[in-house]
Amino acid sequence: MSELSHFDETGAARMVDVSVKSETLREARASAVVRMNPATLALIKDVKLAKGDVLAVARLAGIMGAKRTGDLIPLCHPLPITGVQVDFTYLDDSSLRIDAVVRTFGRTGVEMEALTAASVAALTVYDMCKSVDRVMIIESIRLDSKRGGKSDFVREPG
């Protein structure tokens, strides 16, 4: 169990002590895809849903989700986030991609914050559109890259 950092030598869960790590600029990028009926995506694009501007609300939800990650994930450190960006791309007539970028200057990374931002934004799209499209699918929630700390990571395309 020693290779998993959130468990001690006896197998008990623990919060990793990052006090000996250096403070550096940390950045993580994550994404999610929401697939839906083409008519639903058209309503989002045209801001025609009764609940209002889906993307504006989803952007705010993603930002708020990133800020609250330490409250949601039991062993995550609460972090002083310095920036969150949530953007949307129409992949085709029935798919919306959500990209989240989170930054901090600290002792631990913001991968979980970026993943939470993308996830919460996707869930908000679902919530705002479920009255017209209950068959939406949230998929491909993933870390795309991280930098800062001991190692960098960039997901291979595909």
Question: Reduced to 3 DSSP states, what percent helix, strand and coil does the chain have, rounded to the nearest 5?
Answer: 30, 30, 40
- Please give the single-letter amino acid code of residue 102: V
Query: Of residues 53, 127, 133, 152, which has the active-site annotation?
Result: 127
CA distance 35 to 46: 17
Is 127 a known active-site residue?
A: yes
CA distance 153 to 140: 17
- Give the number of other Cβ atoms within 10 Å of residue 68's Cβ: 14
Strand partners, 46: none
Which residues are annotated as catalytic? 127
